[in-house]
Amino acid sequence: MKTLSLRSGVALGLFAWLGCAQAAAPAGFQLVWSDEFEGAAFNAQEWTPRVGKAHYSQCRAEHVSLTNGCMQVLAAREGNHYTGGGLITKRTFLEGYFEARIKLDGGRGWHDAFWTTWLGSMTDRAPELKTKPRIEIDALEHYPTFDAHKFSYGIIEWYPVKGGLSRATHTTPANLDADFHLYGFEVTSNYCNFFFDDQRIQTTDLRGVEQTDFHLWLTAIATASNAVPKNGGSLFDYLRCYKADAATYARRQQDFIAKLDEALGPSKSRGVDVWIEVADFGKLGGWQVMRDQRARVLRGHDKADKARPPEQLVARTRVAVATAGTYRLWVRGRDFASEQPGKRNFAVAVNGQRAQKLFGTHHQDGFAWQDGGTFTLPAGEAALELVDTSQYYARCHKLLLTTDLDFRPEKTGPHGNVKHLDATAAK
């Protein structure tokens, strides 16, 4: 039986990070809108049906029905294709906690989902919307190859950078197509929490990620040519949307941001630290901003060309340096242990002086910090350059200039703490 009472939960502090806190409708959140799907048909004032071709499904409004207090998306073979579809909220949201109670169809080849996009419908593709910052939040994706005990969740950034911010799978002893289960997410400008059956399963760092209002989608489609329905369709018991006041958000974010910072590694040495996000360089040359292993990075060219103009090999920026002194340079680049290690290299210059070594040459899988030697810097500003020496998928994530010559950064390092003086320059 459905209830609309708020589960008060415990405040999500350090206790929540142990996975012990009740998470759905957190304390201080208020219900702002819901649909319990109790009527005879979906409310066309609140919902847009998903229509059109999607993988192997022809999505139609008539594939959506309300029965026994649930919205069902029909799963069946229909001639040379399959049924499919779902509902998209006409309302838009930017932050809050969102929860859906769902029972999967469970058939082979069917993709059930609870997710967000910036589009109001599959046909709303106004050109001016394509250059707005946007991310896709997937609270539930049940891929056609998954069994009834596993689902995927995560975030994709589509613009201005394209790539995965996070992606994980959750495995449970519960049978997801035998009963209803709760899928939820809480999104703010700084983080996104994912929940399953009232428990937080992941926190994704969203600081520095541009966002815009989104619509909520409840959908099911066939994504395999040999799809076989099991229960006749996916069932959505309800969608509930909550929001908290500014004071509640401020209290909650303190704990989550502190933990996210802790996961980044040491943020402060015993000296003066200048942390630099290279994706914020003012002039990119031929480098491109992209996502790689959840990090926002600069990537060089994918194919060497001896005739390529020098200006297409160098990304530049200027940053503020408050204190004169001797600084050690640290560079976080990507390399591989066995797949042509060291080939994806690049150089770094500080005030026109190149470091004596190349980077992206640590011969480890993934990103790692490399020591770039010391530089004497005056107070004022420093000019930084990345030089695409390999012209072969060089990737740089972050730089550090520190007066603590014994300090060694770890993990990803904290977010940048310095202003790029030419960040608005032509790129």
Identify any residues that bridge with 222 across adjacent strands, giving them in sequence order. Answer: 110
Name the residue ranges covered by the structural domains of the chain: 16-261, 273-402
> Which three-class secondary structure string do you get for the chain?
CCCCCCCCCCCCCCCHHHCCCCCCCCCCEEEEEEECCCCCCCCCCCEEECCEEECCEEECHHHEEEECCEEEEECCEECCEECCEEEEECCCECCEEEEEEEECCCCECEEEEEEEECCCCCCCCCHHHHHCCEEEEEEEEECCCCCCCEEEEEEEEEECCCEEEEEEEEECCCCCCCCCEEEEEEECCCEEEEEECCEEEEEEECCCCCCCCEEEEEEEEECCCCCECCCCEEEEEEEEEEEECHHHHHHHHHHHHHHHHHHCCCCCCCCCEEEEEHHHCCECCCCEEEEECCEEEEECCCCCCCCCCHHHCEEEEEEEECCCEEEEEEEEEEECCCCCCCCCCEEEEECCEECCCCECCCCCCEEEEEEEEEEEECCEEEEEEEECCCCCCCEEEEEEEECCCCCCCCCCCCCCCCCECCCCCCC
pLDDT of residue 125: 60
CA distance 230 to 106: 6
- pLDDT of 354 reads 98
What number does CATH give the domain 16-261? 2.60.120.200
Q: Do the domains at 16-261 and 273-402 have one common CATH topology? A: yes
φ, ψ dihedrals at 17, nearest 5°:
-70, -15
Q: pLDDT tens-digit profile of 165-180?
A: 999 999 999 999 999 9
Q: How far apart are CA 2 and CA 5, in angstroms?
A: 9
The predicted model scores a pTM of 0.82
CATH classification for the domain delimited by 273-402, as one of 3.20.20.70, 3.40.50.720, 2.60.120.260, 3.40.50.300: 2.60.120.260
The predicted pLDDT at position 10 comes to 27
- Residue 418: the pLDDT is 93
Q: How many CA atoms lie within 13 A of 300 on its CB side?
A: 31
At 9 the pLDDT is: 32
Residues in the chain with pLDDT values less than 50: 1, 5-23, 121, 424-427
Q: How far is the C-alpha of 261 from the C-alpha of 387, rounded, in Å?
A: 30
pLDDT of residue 423: 63
